[in-house]
Amino acid sequence: MSRDPRRLRAVSGPLGSPVKPPSGHVFRVERTRGPVWYAKYRLPNGRQVQTKLGPAWTERGRPPAGYFTKRRAEDWLRDVFDQARRGTLPGMVVTGATFADAAAEFLRYAEHDRALKPSTLRGYRSIISAYLLPAFGPRRLEDITPGEIERWRTSLRSAATPPRTRLANNTKNRIVVLLHGIFVRACKLYGLPVNPVAGIERHPVRLTGDIEVFSPEEVWALVRAAASEQDAAIFLMAAFTGLRRGELVALRWRDVDFAGSAVRVRSSYSGGALTAPKSGRVRSVPLAPDVARALDALSRREWFTGEDDLAFPGELGSFLDGSALRRRYAAALRRAGLRQLRFHDLRHTFGTRMIATADIRRVQEWMGHADIQTTMRYLHYAPREDDARLVAEAFSVEGQAPAPIERAAENLAQ
């Protein structure tokens, strides 16, 4: 092992204040697979840090990414000292907390302070348990660096699945976004000077904009194949109103305005809890005659027809079991001989049909989209019969008839 005898020192604190500066040096270690550069430095609180920088570059020319020359290693250490002078060096703060502590605090904050939906909290807990705690759980918050997170992000996969199992980039990004949120909370609560996830790039995601939907004939085939009158009404209403499954389950008779041909969406039920709709606002959706007739038939049953009763109740008038509804929906698809589309695709069916007849603002209001960009995914389903004529007019040449394609082909052959 060879060491560089020169030591690098930070000279002063902000505005020349008397601050005990960190000191340290870089050194090269000979390994079997090649030399490696390290840095070792002492923080103002007396804590010593030693970190591996990367393999040493011993060839001529500019070193590739990830490799270090002596000069590049010294520049890295100078940057550490600069961060120390600015007060942004993570290791200068001792939080006394581990990542597991920060994750638990984030979940408490999300549940009690922000009152997030149970389904959202379940997703957070699942990601933290499967991906974040195995990677960072016992680590001190101040020891987790951007470089470490970047390496973890690059190799991200499920800890509970075989090594070759790959996660979709969209899933990886959700995991990174949650990690970022945990550190945002940790910076506020524990005094971390910087969020080590702030500069981490997201995985590229290719959005096709393609949506699978039912045709009107398929919707009616699904309704006819339903196992009960209530299921038939739910399937029909999902397609004709665009309500989410949780909003259908939470619908009460007082929300159905037969005289005004409208349904008011006031709440949603999922994960065993009743919450506000996803947009956070009550909205009104048109009630088509076919759906009104189906609901009117249900309202004439013997039980659960009061104003406060659920329109689609489960056993003894309680909330309908969402998992059981999904199973009956899948069975109805099989009986009808239809494609195995998701229940949520009934909502997409509403969006694609409505964008052809109503303006985008009304579709946004009916579907409860907080952001109009979400509604715009349906725009390419709107029929535009006039578009071809507009293109033809744009390329027309005055006084010249367009040559037949056959004539153009003959000219090329000659």
Q: Which of the following is catalytic: 254, 344, 361, 384? A: 344
SS3 label, residue 12: coil
Q: Which of the following is catalytic: 283, 347, 348, 353? A: 347
Q: Is 139 a catalytic residue?
A: no
In this structure, are 300 and 224 located in the same domain?
yes
Q: Is residue 269 included in any domain, yes or no?
A: yes
CA neighbor of 367 nearest in space, from 350, 353, 382, 379: 350
Q: Is 203 a catalytic residue?
A: no
Query: What is the reported pLDDT for 193?
Result: 79
In this structure, are 47 and 12 located in the same domain?
yes
In this structure, are 58 and 185 located in the same domain?
no
> Residue 186 sits in a domain of what CATH number?
1.10.150
Q: Is residue 153 included in any domain, yes or no?
A: yes
Q: Is 125 a catalytic residue?
A: no
Q: Is residue 392 included in any domain, yes or no?
A: no
Distance CA 353, CA 382 (A): 8
In terms of Cβ atoms closer than 10 Å to its own Cβ (0-12, 13-18, 19+), residue 75 is middle
In this structure, are 279 and 342 located in the same domain?
yes
In this structure, are 78 and 121 located in the same domain?
no
Mean pLDDT, contiguous 10-residue spans, the chain (414 residues): 43 44 89 93 79 92 91 92 73 82 96 88 95 94 89 73 69 94 94 87 74 94 97 97 96 97 94 85 95 96 95 94 94 97 96 93 94 89 79 76 57 60
Q: Is residue 151 included in any domain, yes or no?
A: yes
Q: Which of the following is catalytic: 85, 278, 335, 377? A: 278
Residue spans of alpha helices (H) in 130-193: 133-136, 146-154, 169-190
Distance CA 348, CA 10 (A): 60
Q: Which of the following is catalytic: 28, 153, 244, 328? A: 244
In this structure, are 272 and 377 located in the same domain?
yes
316-337 burial code (b ≥16 CB/10 A, e <16)? eeebbebeebeebbeebbeebe
Query: What is the reported pLDDT for 15?
Result: 40
Query: What is the reported pLDDT for 184?
Result: 96
Q: Is 348 a catalytic residue?
A: no
List, in sequence order, every residue forming a beta bridge with 270; answer none if it has no partner.
273
Q: Is residue 28 included in any domain, yes or no?
A: yes
In this structure, are 249 and 174 located in the same domain?
no
Q: Which of the following is catalytic: 41, 124, 329, 378? A: 378
Distance CA 8, CA 5 (A): 10
Query: What is the reported pLDDT for 14?
Result: 42
In this structure, are 232 and 350 located in the same domain?
yes
> Residue 315 sits in a domain of what CATH number?
1.10.443.10
The structure's pTM equals 0.65
Q: Is 278 a catalytic residue?
A: yes
Query: What is the reported pLDDT for 154?
Result: 86
Query: What is the reported pLDDT for 4?
Result: 44
CA dist 73 → 69, 85, 294 (Å): 6, 19, 73
In this structure, are 155 and 302 located in the same domain?
no
In this structure, are 291 and 322 located in the same domain?
yes
In this structure, are 255 and 350 located in the same domain?
yes
Q: Is residue 33 included in any domain, yes or no?
A: yes
Q: What is the DSSP letter of 253?
A: G
Domain residues for 176?
Answer: 99-190
Q: Number of folded domains in the chain?
A: 3
Q: Is 3 a catalytic residue?
A: no
Distance CA 327, CA 408 (A): 58
